[in-house]
Structure 1
Amino acid sequence: MKRLLVFWCGVIVILSVLFFSKMLVESQTKTVEATSKNTVNIFNWGEYIDPELLTAFEKESGYQVIYNTFDSNEAMETKIKQGGSTYDIVFPSESIIPKMIDSGLLLPIDQNKIQGTEDISTFLMNQSFDKKNKYSIPYFWGTIGIMVNTKQVDAMKIKKWSDLWNSEYKNDILMIDGARESIGIALQAEGLSLNELDEANVQRGLEKLAKLRSNVKAVLTDEIKTLMIHNDAPIGIGYSGDAAYVMYENPDIQYIVPEDGGAIWTDNFAIPKTARNLDGAYAFINFMLRPENAKQNAEYVGYATPSEQAKALLPKELTNDEAFYPEPAAMEQMEHYEYLGRDAVEMYNDLFLEWKLGL
């Protein structure tokens, strides 16, 4: 009788544990579902949005924004692939979008739920990396070029990438720490495409880059901005938005888009497979596409807005600056960074690392 009583007590304990465990799981699930419906999880590049717009969106929409940042497309892609974080919106660059599409990391965008794309500059839409913008919408765009300290260097002598190889710039250049960007500069200086797939041509670009070593002071990323602001180097390679910030802090800096090529890039709104709040994602995209908000964001961040109406609201001294808003004829000479495939990306990265080790 005693054994039977112990047996049934054990059964009751087990059933109680199972019951309360089930209740706990259901409660946690409901909490997560409720949270996901009330929040918009955003994953963006650092310092890439006006914080006041996030506050305004929360106030208008009733959603709470959870905002996290990444420092490279690869880091962002890895996070989405792992699936541990439930981001509703991400901001990939054009070069990685085809890879993310092929890997099933992005959801198709319901164009019926988007308002404002008709206002986006036509040269940024329907690009080869995402035909008909099925998975992405332009967020910011810009160029890559040459920052020159006019107190230290005659800016009139620098019009092309190829001018950087001039021996008078020994130990003067801050080179950008990016395989596609740096090898792309050398390729364009050789009259080749920055999207070269032919290994012999890429090797030719690397050999050209090797001849630049004596002129390179350092290979950096964000540090280039600080050093240029403080007059620690005469020449720096960088993106147009970074150049705008540097020029604001140091009026002696001039930004030059090279005549022998150059590149147009875009960063884009996209909805990852991890999204749990699609309504919130669309609400945020539409909010940011409004001309007045796009204009405010462009003024804060410093990059070119894709919105033609927002551009019209910006100061003329900014939009008339061809370094930041190039004329159509100049843009026709520029290339978009294309995703070249895993093997080509590894080739570029390996060759660039080889070049850096030789500095």
Structure 2
Amino acid sequence: MKRLLSLLLGIAAICVLLAFSANKLQSTSGDSSAKVLNLYNWGDYIDPALITKFQKETGYHVNVETFDSNEAMFTKIKQGGTSYDLTVPSDYMIEKMRAAHLLKPLDKSRLTGFANLDARFTNQSFDPHNRYSVPYFWGTLGIIYNDQSIKPEEVQHWNDLWQPKFKNKIMLIDSTRDVLGFSLVSMNQSMNTTNPAILKAAQAKLNRLSPNVKAVVADEIKMYMTENEAPLAVDWSGEASEMIANNPHLHYVVPTEGSNLWFDNLVIPKTAKHYKAIYAFLNFMLKPENAAQNAEYIGYATPNKKAKALLPKSIRNDKQFYPSDRTIANLQVYSDLSPHTIGLYNDLYLEFKMNHH
């Protein structure tokens, strides 16, 4: 998920839920006939009203436990101590989990509603033919600008960020793949390149952006942008939708030449035990009215075509979060790169950050 937890949001509720879940997990996780579903999800990444509705409709009790990074989730499932039935990895992490034999294939004959999904968001490189995953949410990386000081035509493309007039005005999301990624796109290169010379050139170009960069931060971008502390940022669509909701002067642009397209997906980890509950939940979440309710609550784009049709016009026609086919055709999904290449990305990114300070 491309949104860091707003920690204060429901922390008390989450603590109570986790304490309750931990007790329930101990008592029920080993029993395959128990009427439970153990869901391992990002924090605040499902409308709680949907959990209540699912429990009422089916009689299954949902235990929710949360994680805050793909890597933390991977480690926990690899250790295998808790029998989670479903979890929600991002695109590249599905590749990694598959390679580590941590996933169970989907039984498509038990899925109803898979056809509700938009074909553009299925059969992706990280999971051909969706053997393991059901798309949950998707989004992009883009540019957020404040119309009080910046005109829309000034920031339609990545290369626009290098203009000298934006000195000390840009906030960057603290993310290796995304920051090197937009530099690569600005040079017409792949966001998944493994070529060290191209990566070094992308870093050199970022170093030339340094004078324009006010700060490289994580969750704080939302505060800076909402309170007009900076007029420009590079961040994810989900974060952008939150900022825009709090400040009408903010807008989000996905450059047409390309950017990252990311997915979060429901998968069945090898620890799963409660198969009836798993398929009941997957089918429940594939229902258009439930997927639409979830998308409205979370503020991310739904991959469910029939759900999108149920969303208010103001949301479903918003090109900021549902870009045109032409823009989508140029978006790139991150691949799970080799440890060696990831090391190179991290080293170059760290050098850029240190030079920036």
Shared fold per TM-score greater than 0.5: yes
The alpha carbon displacement at 1:158 in A equals 0.4
Q: Per the alignment, in what secondary structure is the counterpart of residue 201 of structure 2?
A: helix
Aligned partners of 1:262 and 1:335 also within 8 Å:
yes
Distance in 1 separating the partners of 2:293 and 2:26 = 38
Q: CA RMSD in A?
A: 1.8
Question: In terms of mean alpha carbon deviation, does 346-355 or 121-130 score higher?
Answer: 346-355
After superposition, residues 279-290 of structure 1 pair within 5 angstroms as 279-290=276-287
Distance in 1 separating the partners of 2:264 and 2:305 = 17
Matched, 1:137 2:142: no
Q: Per the alignment, in what secondary structure is the counterpart of residue 138 of structure 1?
A: strand
Partner amino acid, structure 2, of 1:198: N
Distance in 1 separating the partners of 2:353 and 2:78 = 29
Deviations 1:138-187 (Å, cap 9, x if unpaired)? 10011110111111322320010111111111221111111111100100
Q: Which residue of 2 aligns with 1:181?
A: 178
Partner amino acid, structure 2, of 1:267: D
With over 3 angstroms needed to count, the CA separation of the structure-2 counterparts of 1:282 and 1:208, relative to structure 1, is same
Question: In terms of mean alpha carbon deviation, does 264-273 or 330-339 score higher?
Answer: 330-339
Q: Which residue of 2 aligns with 1:309?
A: 306
Q: Per the alignment, in what secondary structure is the counterpart of residue 270 of structure 1?
A: strand
Q: Which residue of 1 aligns with 2:111?
A: 114
With over 3 angstroms needed to count, the CA separation of the structure-2 counterparts of 1:74 and 1:33, relative to structure 1, is closer
Q: Per the alignment, in what secondary structure is the counterpart of residue 268 of structure 2?
A: coil
Matched, 1:54 2:48: no
Tell me which of 223, 248, 264 is aligned to 1:251: 248
The alpha carbon displacement at 1:47 in A equals 2.1
With over 3 angstroms needed to count, the CA separation of the structure-2 counterparts of 1:31 and 1:193, relative to structure 1, is closer
Normalising to structure 1: TM-score of the pair?
Answer: 0.88
Distance in 1 separating the partners of 2:39 and 2:207 = 40
The alpha carbon displacement at 1:32 in A equals 4.7
Partner amino acid, structure 1, of 2:39: I
Q: Which residue of 2 aligns with 1:235?
A: 232
Question: In terms of mean alpha carbon deviation, does 317-326 or 297-306 score higher?
Answer: 317-326
Normalising to structure 2: TM-score of the pair?
Answer: 0.89
Percent of residue pairs identical: 46
With over 3 angstroms needed to count, the CA separation of the structure-2 counterparts of 1:29 and 1:160, relative to structure 1, is closer
The alpha carbon displacement at 1:101 in A equals 0.2
The alpha carbon displacement at 1:252 in A equals 0.6
Q: Which residue of 2 aligns with 1:39?
A: 36
- Unpaired runs of at least 5, structure 2: 1-24
After superposition, residues 1-359 of structure 1 pair within 5 angstroms as 32-34=29-31, 37-359=34-356
Aligned partners of 1:99 and 1:341 also within 8 Å:
no
Aligned partners of 1:121 and 1:307 also within 8 Å:
yes
The alpha carbon displacement at 1:317 in A equals 2.1
Aligned partners of 1:291 and 1:307 also within 8 Å:
yes
Greater C-alpha Rg: 1
Q: Per the alignment, in what secondary structure is the counterpart of residue 212 of structure 1?
A: helix
The alpha carbon displacement at 1:278 in A equals 2.1
Q: Per the alignment, in what secondary structure is the counterpart of residue 145 of structure 2?
A: strand
Deviations 1:216-249 (Å, cap 9, x if unpaired)? 1221222212221121211111111221111111
Q: Per the alignment, in what secondary structure is the counterpart of residue 269 of structure 1?
A: strand
Aligned partners of 2:156 and 2:254 also within 8 Å:
yes
Aligned partners of 2:28 and 2:34 also within 8 Å:
no
Partner amino acid, structure 2, of 1:109: L
With over 3 angstroms needed to count, the CA separation of the structure-2 counterparts of 1:32 and 1:41, relative to structure 1, is closer
Q: Per the alignment, in what secondary structure is the counterpart of residue 351 of structure 2?
A: helix
- The number of aligned residues is 332
Distance in 1 separating the partners of 2:112 and 2:218 = 35
With over 3 angstroms needed to count, the CA separation of the structure-2 counterparts of 1:202 and 1:294, relative to structure 1, is same
Aligned partners of 2:147 and 2:249 also within 8 Å:
yes
Partner amino acid, structure 1, of 2:348: L
Q: Per the alignment, in what secondary structure is the counterpart of residue 335 of structure 1?
A: coil
